[in-house]
Amino acid sequence: MVGTVLADMWGEHMETKYRKAAASSPRGLRPLLRAAPFGSGNDKGMTQILTEKQQAELASIATEVHLRPRATVYTADSSAHSAFIVKDGMVKAFLDLSRGSQRVLAFLFPGDVFGLAENGRYVNSVQTVTPTTCFKIPVSALTEMFVRDGELELQFLFKMTHELREAQRQQIILTHRDARIRVAMFLRMLQRRNDGSSHIELAMSRLDIARYLGLSSEAVSRATARLSREGIVAFPSLRVAQVINRSEFDRLTRAA
């Protein structure tokens, strides 16, 4: 039954490749989680929070899934059997609203978790944006492991708390009327995701950015054009942003 459902979603045209995660080389292919703990650790900000042992534990019940761009991982309301951790690439969580419009709720990067359902149903849909590798973990095995290993479970609690913060930051962005500010804050979010460099890779389309920021794609275009014209952010190509005027950029995005 599970196989049937998965076959529907990851049909033959997807060219997905499965592999036991545990069978991989011990280091690079294990699940990682990016989040911040409750208490005050030595280092501030997000870091990898799993121990080697926890990674190995997870790997023992995880499967690696390789997906090409724009592949559907799952759709909202479908029966939920697995959770996922992004290993490499980028996916978007979204909902299709009534009249064909789409709202992007989150972009998920390596170390992010998605697919933790409610009442056995996924609450939103997830599609890949770039070529993506995910760890796929049966929810039943995961919850069993949680009960046995409270430390591992705690890492997931940190992670979900962290994702809640991200969603709340997104709320802040969405309440700003000015499209220029929304786009700038969005770029700052991507910047934080990476190393904080002024060079920002935009893996998603302008339309997906618009869907994420609650704007029309035209408004996003005009906002980027204006940021460029004002010498705050340069866009050397469609998929690259470069912060030019750091202080002005900070001023724009320092609304919170």
Name which of 67 and 152 has its Cβ closer to a second copy.
Answer: 152
89 C-beta neighbours (distance < 10 Å), count: 20
Closest by CA position to 89, among listed 128, 124, 59, 125: 128
The tally of CA atoms less than 13 A away on the side-chain side of residue 31 is: 31
Alpha-carbon separation of residue 157 from 33, 92, 114, 126, 255 (angstroms): 11, 21, 13, 21, 28
77: left (phi over 0), alpha (psi -120 to 50) or beta: left
The 217-256 contact track toward DNA, x by CB under 7 A, reads xxxxxxxxx---------x-xxx-----------------
Q: Per CB under 7 A, does 68 bind DNA?
A: no
Among 35, 142, 179, 233, binds DNA (CB under 7 A): 179
Q: Taking the complex as a whole, how short is the minimal distance between the CB of residue 175 and DNA, in angstroms? A: 8
Specify whether the CB–CB gap between 255 and 214 falls below 8 A.
Answer: no
223 binds, options DNA, a second copy, none, Cβ within 5 to 8 A by partner type: DNA
Q: Taking the complex as a whole, how short is the minimal distance between the CB of residue 141 and a second copy, in angstroms? A: 12
**Chain residues that interact with a second copy, rule: CB under 8 A:** 36-41, 44-45, 80, 95, 97-98, 103, 105-106, 116-121, 123-124, 139-140, 143, 146-151, 153-154, 156-157, 160-165, 167-168, 170-172, 174-175, 214, 254-256
Give the chain's radius of gyration (CA, Å): 19
CA distance 103 to 134: 23
Q: Taking the complex as a whole, how short is the minimal distance between the CB of residue 131 and DNA, in angstroms? A: 11
Q: Taking the complex as a whole, how short is the minimal distance between the CB of residue 106 and a second copy, in angstroms? A: 8
